[in-house]
Amino acid sequence: MSISVVGHNAVVEQPVNPQDRARSLSAMSPERATSYSIRQRLASRYHAFWFRLGQGLAWSRGIYRERASGQLDQLSGVVRERIERLQQRFDVRFEESARQLTALKQYDYLDILEQAWSGMRLPRSRGGVVQDIGSSNFWYAPVLHTFFRPAELLGIEVEGHRIYLNGYSRLDYAQGYIHSLPNAQFIVGDYAYYERPADIVTAWYPFVTPDPVLAWRLPLSLFTPHALFSRIARNLQPHGRFVMINQGRNEATIAASLCRKVGLARQGSCEVTTPLRPRRPPVLSVWGHAQR
Ligand SMILES: C[S@@+](CC[C@H](N)C(=O)[O-])C[C@H]1O[C@@H](n2cnc3c(N)ncnc32)[C@H](O)[C@@H]1O
C-alpha cells in the first residue's frame, strides 16, 4: 500500500510499513468484528466498488481554483458582526480567495476553534507539525493555517480521489486550497497507516459509528476507529495535542471512550452552542498523552 502526497504541486509516493499494515488489518477488520445488517453490507459493497474504482483511476483534471467572491453578501447583522470580529482578530479575509459559501464555512470552523479555545482557557499552540485527519478536499486548510500557524500542515484523506460532477477530484480542489499556504500538503491515504510524528492532530467529525460511513458513501471496511485512534496516539509527540470536533454530545462520548482506550487523557472540552452556521452544537475536545 502506498500513500500519495501532494503539496506545492509535488506528488510523491510514501511507502507504508507492510508489517504495520498487516498488524492493523488483523487487529481490526470491522466486517469481521462487527455484525452489520444486510442493508449495511449491501450498501458497503456498492460503495466499495466505487471507492476502488476511484483509487484505481486516481483521476485528476488539474488544480481547481475557486473564484473568489471578494466580499460577503446578504448576511444578517449578527453574523456579519461576528465575522468582522474574526477578521480583525486573525487578520484574515477568506472571501478574497474563496467563493461565498466556502468562506462562510471557513469562518464557521475558525469560530468553533476560537470559541472553544477561549472557553477551555488553554494556551494556544503555534508552530510545529499539524496533521488533519479526514480532510475531505481540505477546504478548511486556510482555517487551520490561520489558527495554529503551523510550520507544516498536512491533510490526510483516504478518499482523496473522489471525483465531483465537474470532473475535478478532491485532490484537485485540495491543491487549490493549499496553493498559497507555505509548507502545506494533501495526502491521499488511510491515516491508520500513516506514520509520522505530529505536534497537533486535528479531526473534524471523525467516524465513530458505522452509519455516517455509509452516508458518506464509503465502504465499512474503512470503519476502523480503533486503528485510527491508535495511530493518533502513536503519532502524537509526548507534548502533542489531539484536537477533535464531534457532532453533538453522543458522538463526543463515543469518541472520548476511543481516546481513553488508546491512552489519551482529556485536557479540555467545550460544546459550542452558538455556531456561526445553524447545526447541531459541535463539541470540541483536546487530548494529550495520559501521565503514567
Ligand atoms: C465526516 S467526514 C468529515 C470531513 C471533513 N473533516 C470536514 O469537516 O468537512 C470524514 C472524512 O474522513 C475521511 N476518512 C475516514 N476514515 C479515514 C482514514 N482512516 N484516513 C483518512 N481519512 C479518513 C472520509 O473519507 C471523510 O472525508
Q: Is the distance from CB of 134 to CB of 201 less than 8 angstroms? A: no
CB neighbour list of residue 119: distance below 8 Å, 6 or more residues apart: 270, 272
DSSP 88-139: HHHT--GGGTS-HHHHHHHHHHHHHHHHHHHHHTPPPP-SSEEEEES-TT-T
Of all protein residues, the one whose alpha carbon is nearest to atom 13 of ligand 1 is: 134
| Residue of 204, 214, 247 best suited for mutating to test ligand 1, as the one with most atoms within 8 Å of CB | 204
In this prediction the pTM is: 0.90
The pLDDT of residue 35 = 87
The pLDDT of residue 6 = 40
* Cell numbers found for residue 80: 456579519
Q: Is the distance from CB of 182 to CB of 149 less than 8 angstroms? A: no
The pLDDT of residue 122 = 87
* Cell numbers found for residue 291: 501521565
Span from the CA of 192 to the centroid of ligand 1 (angstroms):
12
Of all protein residues, the one whose alpha carbon is nearest to atom 14 of ligand 1 is: 134
Residue 149 has pLDDT above 70, yes or no: yes
Residue 23 has pLDDT above 90, yes or no: no
Q: CB atoms < 10 A from the CB of 267, how many?
A: 14
- Determine whether the shortest distance from the Cβ of 155 to ligand 1 is under 6 A: no
Beta bridge pairs of residue 241: 200
- Determine whether the shortest distance from the Cβ of 132 to ligand 1 is under 6 A: no
The pLDDT of residue 221 = 94
Q: In 3-state terms, what secondary structure has residue 2?
A: strand
85 pLDDT band, cuts 50/70/90, is very high
Q: Identify the structural domains of the chain with CATH numbers, from first to last.
A: 2-66+125-289 (3.40.50.150)
- Determine whether the shortest distance from the Cβ of 108 to ligand 1 is under 6 A: no
Q: Which of 97-108 are b and which e, b meaning 16 or more Cβ less than 10 Å from the residue's Cβ?
A: bbebebbbbbbb
Residue 31 has pLDDT above 50, yes or no: no
* Cell numbers found for residue 179: 496553493
Q: What residue type is 288 in one-letter code?
A: G
Residue 30 has pLDDT above 90, yes or no: no
Q: In 3-state terms, what secondary structure has residue 246?
A: strand
CB neighbour list of residue 139: distance below 8 Å, 6 or more residues apart: 98, 102, 105, 106, 173, 177
- How many whole angstroms separate alpha carbon 163 and alpha carbon 186? 16
Residue with cell 476560537: 114
Q: Pairing between strand 198-204 and 236-247? A: parallel
Of all protein residues, the one whose alpha carbon is nearest to atom 25 of ligand 1 is: 159
